[in-house]
Structure 1
Amino acid sequence: MRREFCDPRADWAQIIESQGLAYHRTSHPEHLRRPYWDESVHYVFPMDEVLALESVVEELHQMCLAAVEHVVSTGRYDVFGIPPWVRPLIEASWRRRDPHLYGRFDLRYDGEGPAKLLEYNADTPTALVESSIIQWYWLQDVYPGDDQWNSVHERLVDRWKQIAPPSPVHFAWTTEDETGEELMTVAYLQETAEQAGVRARAIAMEDVGWHSLKERFVDLDEAEIHTLCKLYPWEWIVAEPFGRQVPRAAWIEPIWKMLLSNKALLVVLWELYPDHPNLLPAFLGTPSTLTSYVRKPLLGREGASMSIVTPEGVRTTTTGEYGAEGFVYQELCPLPDFDGEHPVLGAWVVGDESAGLGIRETSGLITDDTSSFVPHRIDD
């Protein structure tokens, strides 16, 4: 794994906007000199390294599924801060094996030691368009003879063919997101479903209605919503007035993924697989024996409400309003340094298979909304 510099395409901004990354300006703080999409640098991997990472990702995914089975079998929902009335819904969904679509592992990796799991974004992962589409077309334009760890699009289409219901699927985003990132991400998911032959309809979450007589979710035309593919966190859904009506529709992602999108998963994994080479020690509510650690809210996003503590007393804290449900303490494993930048590998899973890679860089210690997305290639 190495970092290389290259010349950006002359009209790169217009190119990526035409390909769907219309939010690269709006989702990135305006005061930053470095753009969100940065093709002046990229990472290069040999094929054997990618194959090894693929194996790690699929093993981690299977470990996470085993963690779900453990929580459901033992009833350890308190660790996750999940309301009691939601727990039977998670168990029923898991026992039915309600189908799941995709997720993204965030990994710490420097090309030398083993990759370390930082977290699993298994419910509402973003950076999908840039990982699947934008960097692929960059590769074709700039390094057409090379390859890329990227079968995300094809695997999404194939997965839809496996799980597609006979009725239409509604694709929902929230109008609360003013950047347009969630709308474009959901639109892309809808496109992959339509390529698989799925009948699809778009709807904002705020426009999802409840028909009290039919006891069904409906859209603005009062058509029944049989299946809802949403980019809207489950913890928000169950807190809504209609949350208790969740069993009246099928959901993608299914409600059992509440256990994988919660950072208490890191604690359960460490208990089930102590000293696993791809895990970091993690504890609930206390640093335990850790002398350097990252405190993460169970349901935080974009690096918000986090703290880093070192033995020397150095402390870095990010702002945010997360943490009401509690915190996990994960051993600090500083991100690697490449030319003063610190990459996090976002490894995609579609179904139960590894599907691709997206990389975000930050000059700080925590990956947040100031980070940039950079492409990669395989030089074999």
Structure 2
Amino acid sequence: MKIKHLTIDPNWKSRLESIGYGFHTDQDEPYWIDDYYFEITSKEADMLHHATTEVWDMCLKAVEYVITNKRYDLFHIPAYMVHHIEQSWENETPSIYGRFDFAYDSEKRKLKLLEFNADTPTSLFECGIVQWYWKNHYFSESIDQFNSVHEQLIACWKDIKPHLKGDILYFSCAKETLEDLTNVEYLRDTAMQAGIQTQLIYIDDIGWEGREFVDLEGKSIQSIFKLYPWEWMVHEEFGKNIVNDVNEAQWIEPSWKMLLSNKAILPILWQLFPHHPNLLPAYFDDHKQLRNYIKKPILSREGANIEMYYDKELIYATAGEYGREGYIYQELATLHKEETGFSIIGSWIIGQEPCGISFRESTMPITTDKSRFVPHIIKN
């Protein structure tokens, strides 16, 4: 796994914009990297596929454990949502996707799970579409990529279609969020290719008529994909209506994904599968045995309020508004480092199938919303 450089296409921005990618740059700093990339081997791709499959299986077992033992207190989940979570799990409410974030230790050739973006992962459009077009622009068709995201999304929607409620699957995100809207519209497009009738509605525009959720025309919403975090929804008046909905609308991702998107799942995984080669030691409070570790708020997003300790001394911290909900402690992982920065690997699972990877790179050892997306190819 190594960085390789290219002579950049002078028209790279317009090329990306022509396929609907409008947030390639953040305040004159590139978010999308067009002139260098990661080259990985097929053996490394196989290792990522295997690790993703293993960790996904362990995550499902961890959800079953939490629900069976009713450990919701560890997750800062309101009591009123417990029944909804259990019902969504027992009824096998459709789930589409998630992104595991792995650290890769190049010297030991080990992948370690950092966390699971199981509810509202973004960068799917970049992974499935943008880096595929990037590959085809710079390389011949014989060059491969760990990327079957697009095909797997359509196949997954086809599998789910018979189990959807109502005639329309709504797709939703907050207003004025270009990145979220781009990802939602990409997901909506793949659903339409699977033969599903869809409609876009912003979270802000969803109505409540005392008994059910409705769209702007007053029509009942019975199935909806939302790119909006469960942990935000359940603490809003809007979210509290979910348990009062007479239609029992299907929410995708389902509410049981709240358990996996919460960093409290990391100590649960370590408790259930101690010393698994793809896991890092993680604890709720008794972390005295850790000398080098990360302190994470269980609901932190985009690297906010992360504290890094080395020899039990604080060496780095990020700002933010999280922490009141509680913390977990996770052993400090070794990140892959190049001259361009520190990188983590996002490994996508769609349905039950690992199907694509994305690299996020940062100048600092904590990945934040300022991190860059680096494309990849497979070459032996």
User: Is the Cα–Cα contact under 8 Å of residues 286 and 328 in structure 1 kept in the other structure?
Assistant: no
8 Å contact kept, 2:23–2:31: no
Distance 2:370 2:14 in 1: 21
Q: Secondary structure at the match of 1:192?
A: helix
Partner residue of 1:131? 127
SS of 2:269's partner is helix
Partner of 2:73: 78
One-letter identity of the residue aligned with 1:163: I
Q: CA deviation at 1:336?
A: 2.0
* Superposition deviation, residue 287 in structure 1: 2.9
C-alpha spacing 1:58/1:378, structure 2 compared with 1 (3 Å): same
Residue 331 of structure 1: aligned partner? 331
Listed as ranges, the matches of 1:26-41 within 5 Å are 28=26, 30=27, 32=29, 35-41=30-36
Map 1:253-332 to 2 at 5 A: 253-311=253-311, 313-332=313-332
Q: Is 1:250–2:247 an aligned residue pair?
A: no
For residues 149 and 286 of structure 2, the distance between their equivalents in structure 1, rounded to whole angstroms, comes to: 37
- Show the counterpart of 1:194: 192
Which residue pairs with 1:207 in the alignment?
Answer: 205
Distance 1:341 1:243 in 2: 39
Deviates more, 1:328-337 or 1:256-265: 328-337
Cα distance in structure 1, aligned partners of 2:64 and 2:317? 34
What SS does the aligned partner of 1:255 have? Answer: coil
Q: Deviations over 1:267-319 (max 9, x none)?
A: 10000000111000111145332111111111111101111011172421101
Cα displacement (A) at 1:244? 3.1
CA offset at residue 158 of structure 1? 0.5
Cα offset, 1:87, TM superposition = 1.1
The equivalent residue for 2:148 is: 151
The alignment covers a number of residue pairs equal to: 371
Preserved CA contact (<8 Å) 2:291 2:312: no
After TM superposition, the structure 1 = structure 2 runs for residues 98-177 of structure 1, keeping only pairs within 5 Å, are: 98-111=93-106, 112-144=108-140, 145-164=142-161, 165=164, 167-175=167-175
Distance 1:304 1:242 in 2: 25
Aligned 1:11-22 pairs, distance under 5 A: 11-22=11-22
Contact 2:97 2:351 in 1 (8 A): yes
**Partner of 1:377: helix, strand, or coil?**
strand
Of 45, 48, 54 in structure 1, the residue corresponding to residue 40 of structure 2 is 45
- Which piece of structure 1 moves more, 293-302 or 116-125? 293-302
Q: Which residue of 1 aligns with 2:89?
A: 94
Contact 1:7 1:39 in 2 (8 A): no
Say whether the 8 Å CA contact 1:23–1:179 is kept in structure 2: no
In the aligned structure 2, how far is the partner of 1:297 from the partner of 1:81? Answer: 11
- Structure 1 distance, partners of 2:174, 2:285, is 31
**Is the 1:172–1:203 contact (alpha carbons within 8 Å) kept by the matching residues of 2?**
yes
Cα offset, 1:340, TM superposition = 4.7
Letter in 1 for 2:213: F
Instruction: Give the match for residue 341 of structure 1.
Output: 341
| Aligned-partner Cα distance in 1 for 2:109–2:378 | 19
Distance 2:105 2:36 in 1: 16
For 1:306, give the aligned amino acid.
I
2-structure distance, mates of 1:46, 1:172: 38
3-state secondary structure, aligned to 2:216: coil
* CA distance, structure 2, for counterparts of residue 209 and residue 179 of structure 1: 20
Q: How much has 1:23 moved relative to structure 2?
A: 1.7
Distance 1:83 1:252, change over 3 A: same
Secondary structure of the 1:348 match is: strand
* 1:45-91 deviation line (CA, Å, top 9, x unaligned): 11122112101101100100000000001111111111111111111
User: How large is the RMSD of aligned CA atoms in angstroms?
Assistant: 1.4
Deviations 1:182-218 (A, max 9, x none): 1111111100100000100001001000112xx1110
TM superposition outliers: structure 1 runs of 4+ over 4 Å: none
Distance change in 2, residues 1:250/1:84 (3 Å)? same
Q: In structure 2, what is the equivalent of residue 23 of structure 1?
A: 23
Mapping of 1:357-376 within 5 angstroms? Answer: 357-376=357-376
**TM-score (normalizing by structure 1):** 0.95
1:66 is the counterpart of 2:61: yes
| Residue of structure 2 in register with 1:232 after alignment | 228
2:219 matches 1:223: yes
TM-score scaled by length of structure 2: 0.95
- Matches of 2:257 and 2:174, distance apart in 1: 19
Query: What is the DSSP-based 3-state SS (H/G/I as helix, E as strand, rest coil) of the residue aligned with 1:355?
Result: strand
